[in-house]
Structure 1
Amino acid sequence: MSGRSPFYKELLGHLDEGDIAALTPESFARLPFTTKDDLRTRLKDLLSKPIHEGWIFYETTGTTGRATPCPRDNVDSIVNNTALSVCYDHVFRAHGENHVIGVMGPNELHSTGDTFGDVCRNLGHAHAKMWPHSPVVGFKRALEVLQEISVTGVFCTPNVAMSMAKEAIRAGLEPRELGLRFFMFTGELATPGLLKNIGEMWGATAYNCLYASQEASILGAVHGDGRLRTVPLNVYYELIDPVTTLPAPRSENGYRQGELVITHLYQGSKPLVRYRTGDLVRLYDAAGDASYPSEVLLPLGRVRDRIDLNGRQVTAYELEALILDGLSGAMDYQLIIDRVDGTDTLEVEVETRDGIPLPADTTAALATAARQAWGCPLSVTYGKLGGVTTTGAMVSWKAARVHDRRSAPDAERQAALAMVALRRSE
């Protein structure tokens, strides 16, 4: 690979076959990292073959930086989609037969439609590609298609499911009566509280089905037990301290937590070696009697999405998990962070069905939990959301969900607001 990729020829070209054969986990961990800046500056130099030798060209969204090329060949597609097919078969079987699957994700220069369409074909299920944010489809038509062809399951982001439920209610429809059996969520953070809320809203089971990125492909897939599993035949996983870059130690609770570094174990169009994903994850050992014996993977959000609350570093997962565990019935939410008299405060803006306030004991329990966890006074307000909160998959969880009044909007928050303005003008 290093001989065919100009970038890796420079980075790793000093290693001969003997050096590679002699690598151990310890010596491998001394090789240089591949970074996101490398991807943005070296672009096609990372590729191990010219684009015309692949079968399809994708790229990253480019909403917060230069789009980077992500072509794929048959090796890329076969190894990644096979891993998904093996895992998803258990989920699909748990929800009956005669499935028709809706695939609601962007298709232009993006892998969502092709990947999930291929997996459905592998498993013998019909599917329909429909991107509700596309002017060709829209949410109204997507809802009509769900009913017309009796869709049983949907691949989408959590916010697409929320937005579609709102559209259904506006149209006088009851989401729970539309026949959906399950949702397969990707593209955004999905904590247990969020999955529970959306599942109850639709009368369906909601899964966090995938941990992946356009550039790194499939890094985790949901199995029948509802947990994400690693794909160790395709990917070598390392966890590092994001500051020191030293290997992350195992905690007293038995898991490892740190920034994920991955190396592809297959040679596709763009294999990556020691790529720093920028994501915080936990890895738990598989149970000794597990039928699918790979580690359990829990994404915690991006390293740079950690938020300081009264001196505590809080991950995106920890923040959303605590909030949504106490917001049963919320159809959407946004967090407003401020600083009052030297103390960081939280305001949770919630959209509920028909604007009905949550029970007083629920909001009181949430306020108590936030004060105990982070020393934050917390209040709950109500209103219509759905503008910036819909941009998470295209920008970031933090840009979509957090309005931090302690500082001016950063570049990602500005990109999210600009995306909302563009959608409204179309």
Structure 2
Amino acid sequence: MFTLFNEELNRFARDTLRAHREFEAGKWTSERLAAHQLDQLRDVLRYTRDNSPFYGERLAGLSDERIGRFALGDLGDLPFTTKDDLRQNMLGTASQPVTDSWVFYETTGTTGPATPCPRNNVDSIVNNTVLSLCYDTVLRRHDGPHLVAVMGPTELHSTGDTFGDVFRNLGHTVAKMWPHSPVVGYRRALQLLREMPFTGLVCTPGMAMALAKEARRAGLDPRRDLSVSFLLLVGELLTPALAANIGSLWDATAYNSMYASQEASILAAVRDDELLHTAPLNVCYEVIDPNSGTPVQAGPDGAVQGELVITHLYRGSKPLIRYRTGDMVVMRPAGTGASYPSPLLRPLGRVRDRLTLNGNTVHAFDLEQLVLGRLTGCQGYQVVIDRIEGVDTLTVLLETADFADRSGTGTGALRADLMERFGTPAEIRFTDDLGAITTTGAMVSWKAARIHDRRTAEPEAERLAALAIAGQREVR
């Protein structure tokens, strides 16, 4: 509604929606998209050079004439922006005074200084337009009207505002309730879920599993006693295997709903095909080798795998130029006849979350998918790594709901899979309570939440941060 009070913003919002709807309908040619990206890229280069102290210095050599001749293929000539750049320069990376933004967020600051993430109205319009159009296709798969519980932090965090705005755009109702908040807590959250006709949850995978476990402790069966039919999961790595296990806990469809961050905003969103689609009207994407920084060459199927680098194509509060996300991804073309004509993206985990097991480099995605691929009803897992007589070994700890089969069926096959894929002997154990550390992935990292690597004498800083957060969350 705020756009009604600003004619220029109102026009921009309508033009943005029209463009995205035309793209969704397949009315954009590749030539039109390339022209749009180039025009927006040149505009953002001027905007950041002239307004951001950080980019003013970084892009000082780019004259107006040079920018006017700049091509998409020239992006590689510009330096990367890194997380350390954001931490060292803070609001100096922004292209507007914070008072020109409509809201101020920041990163969690659990593994380093919290960095500022102000958003202006342009930020919200372009990102929430993508989410609204994509989620509309998902919600139409489920009987409405929808009442959705948004279970994420609201203080200095975008989750509640973003999903509240998107569901309002689509005519649905939200309740913002954060079970870790002292104002709400698990008991009140479950009471509301029991009393009200909630059809959907927005939360992290860790929260979805923890909430299902707390429901059972309270004598409720989420599959029988609650009306949730879908979960939009955010904030952590989510493999198809984990999504299927979470879905089994709730008798609902679990979606990997977006790929995004506080700093980079929305980079991909789920549609009714349950795949993550990029947003090329808003973002330029590059995939690089994380070690050399050079572009990754596409395989025979057009797919590229490496670290994702993004450049914003709109005049937000803090556009980023060639920002290294620190995340490993696979990006591939949508393919002929795709329902949405943008490349598909699959996050594999953070670059620093990669593991080395007996000489094999292992991505977070591959390990989680293999560990959970044969299970159902899993409501938590952790992998302990030891090195015994020169060999890396694994102990896989699994916490499952009471309806899951713990008879050992499939554990032999899992051990064989781990040996064949990663060369690691493994032991599979079931446990009744892994503790709260497995719920800290969104605050710290997948590795800190899911991996206990005992090959080093001292625990990593991220694991210590995860343990500290878990200690606070254990108190109910």
Out of 347, 350, 364, the residue aligned to residue 302 of structure 1 is 350
1:163-242 matches, cutoff 5 A? 163-177=210-224, 178-242=226-290
Out of 53, 56, 59, the residue aligned to residue 9 of structure 1 is 56
Q: CA deviation at 1:53?
A: 0.7
Whether contact under 8 Å (1:155, 1:184) holds in the other structure is: yes
Q: Is 1:417 paired with 2:464?
A: no
Out of 171, 194, 212, the residue aligned to residue 124 of structure 1 is 171
Aligned to 1:386: 435
Whether contact under 8 Å (1:193, 1:321) holds in the other structure is: yes
Q: CA deviation at 1:357?
A: 6.0
User: CA 1:382/1:361 → structure 2, altered by over 3 Å: closer, same or farther?
Assistant: closer
Q: What amino acid is aligned across from residue 216 of structure 2 in structure 1?
A: I
Whether contact under 8 Å (2:356, 2:362) holds in the other structure is: yes
User: CA 1:253/1:290 → structure 2, altered by over 3 Å: closer, same or farther?
Assistant: closer
Out of 280, 285, 292, the residue aligned to residue 333 of structure 2 is 285
Q: Is 1:92 paired with 2:139?
A: yes
Whether contact under 8 Å (1:163, 1:386) holds in the other structure is: no
Q: What amino acid is aligned across from residue 290 of structure 1 in structure 2?
A: A
1:69-148 matches, cutoff 5 A? 69-148=116-195
Aligned to 1:396: 445
User: CA 1:422/1:224 → structure 2, altered by over 3 Å: closer, same or farther?
Assistant: same
CA distance in 2, matches of 1:358, 1:308: 29
Out of 306, 309, 322, the residue aligned to residue 370 of structure 2 is 322
Q: Is 1:266 paired with 2:311?
A: no
Aligned to 1:405: 454
Aligned to 2:418: 370
Q: CA deviation at 1:291?
A: 2.3
Q: CA deviation at 1:355?
A: 9.5
Q: Is 1:350 paired with 2:398?
A: yes
Instruction: Structure 2: state its 5+ residue gaps.
Output: 1-46
Instruction: Structure 1: state its 5+ residue gaps.
Output: none
Q: CA deviation at 1:425?
A: 6.0
Question: 221-230 or 323-332, which moves further after superposition?
Answer: 323-332
CA distance in 2, matches of 1:86, 1:254: 26
Q: CA deviation at 1:282?
A: 0.5
1:95-150 CA-to-partner distances (Å, cap 9, x unmatched) read 02210011000000000000000000000000000001111111111111112221
Q: CA deviation at 1:207?
A: 0.2
Q: CA deviation at 1:330?
A: 1.7
Partner of 2:466, secondary structure, is helix
Instruction: Tell me the TM-score normalised to structure 2 length.
Output: 0.88
Instruction: Tell me the TM-score normalised to structure 1 length.
Output: 0.98
CA distance in 2, matches of 1:397, 1:139: 23
CA distance in 2, matches of 1:326, 1:345: 20
Partner of 2:375, secondary structure, is coil
Count of paired positions: 426
CA distance in 2, matches of 1:354, 1:226: 28
Question: 283-292 or 237-246, which moves further after superposition?
Answer: 283-292
Q: What amino acid is aligned across from residue 322 of structure 1 in structure 2?
A: L
CA distance in 1, matches of 2:380, 2:293: 36
Q: CA deviation at 1:393?
A: 0.4
Q: What amino acid is aligned across from residue 420 of structure 2 in structure 1?
A: Q
Q: CA deviation at 1:328?
A: 2.2
CA distance in 2, matches of 1:353, 1:8: 51
CA distance in 2, matches of 1:356, 1:222: 28
Aligned to 2:85: 38
CA distance in 1, matches of 2:403, 2:145: 37
Percent identity between the aligned chains? Answer: 57
Q: What amino acid is aligned across from residue 98 of structure 1 in structure 2?
A: P
Q: CA deviation at 1:359?
A: 3.4
1:287-309 CA-to-partner distances (Å, cap 9, x unmatched) read 21112100010000000100001
CA distance in 1, matches of 2:402, 2:132: 39
Q: What amino acid is aligned across from residue 302 of structure 1 in structure 2?
A: R
Q: CA deviation at 1:196?
A: 0.5
Q: What amino acid is aligned across from residue 471 of structure 2 in structure 1?
A: A
Q: What amino acid is aligned across from residue 91 of structure 2 in structure 1?
A: K
Q: CA deviation at 1:172?
A: 1.0
Q: CA deviation at 1:406?
A: 0.4
Question: 279-288 or 353-362, which moves further after superposition?
Answer: 353-362
CA distance in 1, matches of 2:326, 2:333: 22
Whether contact under 8 Å (2:229, 2:251) holds in the other structure is: yes
Partner of 1:361, secondary structure, is coil
Partner of 1:57, secondary structure, is strand
Whether contact under 8 Å (1:355, 1:382) holds in the other structure is: no
Q: CA deviation at 1:26?
A: 3.0
Q: CA deviation at 1:252?
A: 3.8
Partner of 2:268, secondary structure, is strand
Q: CA deviation at 1:424?
A: 4.1
CA distance in 2, matches of 1:100, 1:16: 52
CA distance in 2, matches of 1:357, 1:221: 34
CA distance in 1, matches of 2:184, 2:445: 24
CA distance in 2, matches of 1:100, 1:390: 24
